[in-house]
Structure 1
Amino acid sequence: MTEVESAAGIAPDAELAAAYRVCREIAAAHGRTYFLATRLLYAPRRPAVHALYAFARIVDDIVDHPTLDAEHGPAGELDMVEKQLRVVLEQGVPAASGPAERTRVLIALADTIHRYDIAPQHFWTFLDSMRMDVPGTAHFHARYTTMTELRAYMRGSAAAIGLQLLPVLGTVVPVVEAEPAAAALGEAFQLTNFLRDIAEDLDRGRIYLPADELAAFGVDADLLAHCRRTGQTDHRVRRALAHLIAINRDLYRVADPGIDLLDPRVRPAIRTAGTLYSGILERIEDFDYAVFARRAVVPQHRRLRVAAAEFTTAALRRS
């Protein structure tokens, strides 16, 4: 973003530009697939997408990587983030407390919310789901019994992200008509993360796969812990993962028609993100479900090839 005019007087232009730069740096450092897909977006929209990503990232870090010197603990930090965001949205002035990076992210986020008329409720829903990850809070969950229960969590952790993005991306229909597909795509991305990161989540004492779906294949928490210790995927777990990958692909299929409801200029970026993220499922299968021994990652050359193909196709359609 070379020139920024502050929406709703959130911050002076120079300060706002600096805030968006911080968001871009966070997206580039932590969201490789996400950042690559963003490069295909219509340039004026990229800063807003970076702001949304950066906010989600700092909240994730509060939950997943709490610091010993945090004054309020993860739950208190989430409450502080919500309070700071509410203040900057309502008063146009960021709160002075909190880390400088966080303050800048919130400045950019509040500007994005005002600029694109994003419903603030999507951010409160997101934060409520993040509280479900924090031990000691009223809604903490380390396990999920059913897919319905897990999807209630994903409503905030994933579907809300898709709904935040939708006004930024733009649609060729009323936004409300595109919301179900956008929510489904967010859930599809999240479930892919859960399948890829099962070992890391076990290390944090969490299982983000529905217990009843796992039990149908003879899998329980003890078996998953054994697989983690040995680095070997039991045949029962392999079958359960294959089943859950099929469910995940159904979510991508539900979401896919929604891409045609978006502004034509952003469709290549979203198709790229969908193709690359669903490609993680293929990598899990290619490695014979060895999710306890290695992390499934789409190779850089494939990410670049998919992005280039989408960019070329879009260019040909416009010519």
Structure 2
Amino acid sequence: MSTTAKLAGLLRDEQGPVAFNDAVDEDAVPVEPLTEHDDAISAMSASHGNNMQFRCYRGFWISEMWAPGVVAVHRSFAPRADDVLVASLQKSGTTWLKALTFATMARGAWPPSSHDHPLRRLNPHLCVPSLEVLYTLGRDALLDMLPSPRLLSTHMPLSLLPPSTCKIVYIYRDQKDTAVSLWHFMKRRHPDLTFSEVHEAFCYGICMGGPAWDNILEFWYASNAEPTRVLFLTYEKVLQDPCDAVKKLAQFLGQPFSGAEEEAGVVTEIADLCSIDNLRNQKANKYGSIGGKISHESFFRKGMAGDWTNHMTLEMAERLDSILREKLDGSGLIV
């Protein structure tokens, strides 16, 4: 069956989510960078880190580049009750979580073994759009074109998201590995950026959606208070047992696997489809770019735990760990 015919059936049967780039014609909404919040943004406190300019909005650091979108999402985004948001700090497993969640939710329309599966044709970021990016580019009208349920993503802290009853899946990663991953990612555009600069910024909490510890704690506390609305995953546990994570995702999203699905190996197929190695080797992720600036292949590096040992001294590691332990003390979250 062709992609067009498959999509038509998908929309008709109201199954979802639909891959963003399959559901919308981006050219129908031209890029018109948002400017209405420029005065408010210029009045915010500023800081610099990782070769980026940041602004402080309601106690959180947001990159100046995406600040217009963050403010707009906070003030005007209208969630649907059946929206699902995947949330994370940058380089904490965002791409992987998008793939896992999409494949789990869409498995009725797109069995993971399907040769034309969206994750075999599209980068995960083209399946699951970023709220703050679309709003910054003035293309938020595209969100209205998506059929329900919509699967969306954000790096924003919970307190900057509009109140809603929609489900949120959050992923937390060892901040030492996050810092290393961000450094490698940023070096593609800023080759002179040193790891020491990135480490220093992390220790001061300067990152998109940071301070990291406040971002993490908002979702952690919400997951404990409302476990049916917020699911808190840790990158290392997902890495250790991806099949268990897929089953948790399905249960949380109200789409538990049937006995027949488990017998048929659907859980394993989803985990395999979304593995870092498999995604990295897809043609869609070897070529192309997001907005002509960020190459698809840049989203797939090692994807391992503990790579920080190859870049960080023990003193640097202990400094960052001690800050996290102090900030998360009493929360019940162990780092």
Instruction: With the length of structure 2 as denominator, give the TM-score of the two structures.
Output: 0.29
**Larger helix fraction of residues:** 1
> Which structure exhibits the higher relative contact order, with contacts defined as CA atoms closer than 8 Å and separated by 6 or more residues?
2
**Larger strand fraction of residues:** 2
